[in-house]
Structure 1
């Protein structure tokens, strides 16, 4: 049994089939997703190589790295050859990738379209299993000064602390706001609560000459802009 297991170790493969050496000699972009995962787990099981096992794991998520990142340790360990240590390694690597995507350059990002808002916020809330409501604060050049989570969970008008939103806007010198929240259900249809929150914040901000420019609903793949749909 140990001999069968070791024959599928990466270090025992022919050099042309070794993902680590391929990355070193040909560059990271030449590797498939399965080969990259194989580097993380190093070995497969007695019946399949690390690459074959990685291919099977990816096939279970329809070859989606995003879906792979959502698998729990328990779900990963259901694959023969994936113990706790390997499951933790896969989870840690995908979490690093997610955090890398969240990092922003030091220069302030300018908002010139609803798509720009989506590109900023989707990595943060696009695939969450619960709702989160965020405020993006903009300066007079429509550049992002700050983005803050306002609430977590279902959205109702009573959960929106208007005073906190406007207090923060004044503190950071914002002249405009964009509201953003996600719908884990995947639906892009605004609820009555979504519309009520938009009206509530828009009316409150007007008293301080602060504009609410848009409200985006974000799902895992798409978004709806209140401004684009003339719902403001």
Structure 2
């Protein structure tokens, strides 16, 4: 009697070994070429899982995935289980990857002084009618990673909590930060609340390993650096 080998379907795999679930739990770097292709393929057929279809694609050339760099949809669509729709999805994903790889990285701004940081905000924040609290995240070269709005309203310990200030900084692996807020009155002289919050953030940063380099207060065309005033 001839036995027909039954292909394992993805839903029959242990939960942690299914490509999408594996990506979510372990990260994209843990997936094999076949698993990455399987996610692009999406669904298999009644006789073959997306993983099986992915392996059929990889088996087309001895160099495996390399040939996909210049592949046309028609070259994939003749594979059993891979129609034109799936072929176009795969080719489109490869093209996106190529475009991302060849796009020059934008030059990051480097912050060398409180004035450099203040220049980014002084015109934007001088006319605001409410207090905005922002965080400028930096890498090890003092280059800007991102700028984030933390809160809007009156500045006090309940409005600005280290939990919110450092949340994105931790996710982005920031090395340091500069915090910035405005005084709608136009007078940038720091209040005692400003000083207290700054010291609280510095202490939290020391625990998390993310330096708080400065706290800038923006007024009407002028600013004050708490670092320069030795208030932090």
TM-score by length of 2: 0.53
In structure 1, runs of 5+ residues without a counterpart are 1-104
Shift of 1:213: 0.3
Which structure has the bigger radius of gyration? 2
Q: How many residues align?
A: 128
- The runs of at least 4 consecutive aligned structure 1 residues that moved more than 4 Å come to none
**1:128-143 equivalences in 2 (<5 Å):** 128-143=128-143
Which residue is 1:160 aligned to? 160
CA distance in 2, matches of 1:218, 1:230: 17
Which residue is 2:228 aligned to? 228
Shift of 1:229: 1.1
CA distance in 2, matches of 1:106, 1:125: 25
Does 1:113 pair with 2:113? yes
**1:59-208 equivalences in 2 (<5 Å):** 106-208=106-208
SS at match of 2:190: coil
Q: Deviations over 1:56-84 (max 9, x none)?
A: xxxxxxxxxxxxxxxxxxxxxxxxxxxxx
Shift of 1:162: 1.4
TM-score by length of 1: 0.53
CA distance in 2, matches of 1:139, 1:185: 33
Shift of 1:207: 0.5
RMSD: 1.4
Shift of 1:189: 1.4
**1:212-227 equivalences in 2 (<5 Å):** 212-227=212-227
In structure 2, runs of 5+ residues without a counterpart are 1-104
CA distance in 2, matches of 1:138, 1:107: 14
CA distance in 2, matches of 1:131, 1:164: 16
